[in-house]
Amino acid sequence: MNATRQLHDLGQSLWLDNITRDLLTSGRLSRYIDEFSVTGLTSNPTIFEHAIKQSDSYADAIRAKALAGKSSEALFFELALDDLTQAAGLFQPIHAASSRVDGWVSLEVSPLLADDTAGTIEAARELHARAKCPNLFIKIPGTGAGIPAIEEAIFAGVPVNVTLLFSCDHYIAAAEAYMRGIERRIAANLDPEVASVASLFVSRWDAFVDAKVPAALKNRLGIAIAMRTYKAGHDLLESPRWQKLAASGAVPQRLLWASTGTKDPEASDVLYVEALAAPDTINTMPEKALQAFADHGKVKGALQYDGGDAEIVLAEFSRAGIDAAVAAADLQREGTAAFAKSWRDLLAVIESQSAGFTKAKKT
């Protein structure tokens, strides 16, 4: 039995952190589902930027949509929904067999809305309605403006993947927004079963502090943050507040490990996948990390519900001068800015290609 299957049998969902048209048309995604136990997929603006910029597989679709008068952002969302609904179809049997717990794909609202609560709510509702896809999450960042948007989207019945979470406090804010949305649905006599995941970014922590800490602490902060958050998630599910919601038919907001590809070339390429094995969680990983883990990864045990030695490790970072709360805010700002840049670059590529096609038509 390969390592990916062992993780699956442990109770952790393996999702691919990538989407390209070639991934779909080549049959590679189907192979990952069959051979590596992949049960879902995530996307973000950077992934789509790379997919469209570095491949000619979108050229025909961009040409047709541009000649039909589609603008850059509208054109992009049509491309993205084409890809993601096709992927969602591959995961639909898993979605059904898992009683809608697994088998999801994700599409992000425009990162330019990160500080716009009303705009995010409107975009989430509109994308959800357009997709008409039962296993599509709408990704909303867990920023200050995103948190109330998450509550409203959940209340509206929109499944949400909360993205750009970097700390236990970020996670708790997202979880409470999710619960408020569910509580409001129950009070309004609406179905409380609205799915959500909360995506905690891991490896970016270690890249962020790499030059600031001694060698003994390298590549340990992201995992410690994740372990602290795992304990908080387990405590939340045992709380009277959640137990009341569960008794009414609500489903848990699952914790998702994001950014689990190793960034340090001197560290193991399966460092974060091996360290974060845990039942009832999701690990969404880049193709390289998935392939590496399938090839030589090992399931060495599961995370402890009590957080293990997370607080001891975090205290060491504090003594080394790392303020985790300040760093988490910085990482979230950086992540938001990076996605916004990718978004602008993505639209610029689409606009450039579209202009070439429409100019050619006129001549």
How far from chain centre, in Å, is Cα 64? 30
**Contact present, 260 and 284 (Cβ < 8 Å):** yes
Q: Is the dihedral of CA 127, 128, 133, 137 positive or negative?
A: positive
For 247, residues 6+ apart whose C-beta sits below 8 A from its C-beta are none
Task: Kindly name the residue from 53, 70, 132, 139 that is annotated as catalytic.
Answer: 139
355/362 Cα distance (integer angstroms)? 11
What string of DSSP letters covers 104-135? -EEEEPPGGGTT-HHHHHHHHHHHHHHH--TT
CA-CA distance, 167 to 205, in Å (whole number)?
10
Question: ∠ CA 116-163-168 to the nearest 5 degrees?
Answer: 110
Rounded to the nearest angstrom, the gap between the alpha carbon of residue 318 and the centroid of all alpha carbons in its chain is: 28
Name the nearest CA neighbour of 157 among 188, 181, 133, 131. Answer: 181
Taking the C-alpha atoms of residue 4 and residue 13, their distance in angstroms, rounded to an integer, is 10
Asked if 137 and 197 touch (Cβ cutoff 8 Å), the reply is yes
273 within 8 A of 297, measured Cβ to Cβ: yes
Separation CA 88–CA 24 (nearest Å): 11
Characterise 128 by phi-psi region: left (phi > 0), alpha (psi -120 to 50), beta (else): alpha
Residue 70 among the catalytic residues: no
Angle at 225 between CA 161 and CA 326, to 5 degrees: 90
What is the C-alpha separation between 311 and 29, in angstroms, rounded? 38
Q: At what angle do helices 28-36 and 287-296 cross, to 10 degrees?
A: 40
| Active-site annotation, residues | 139
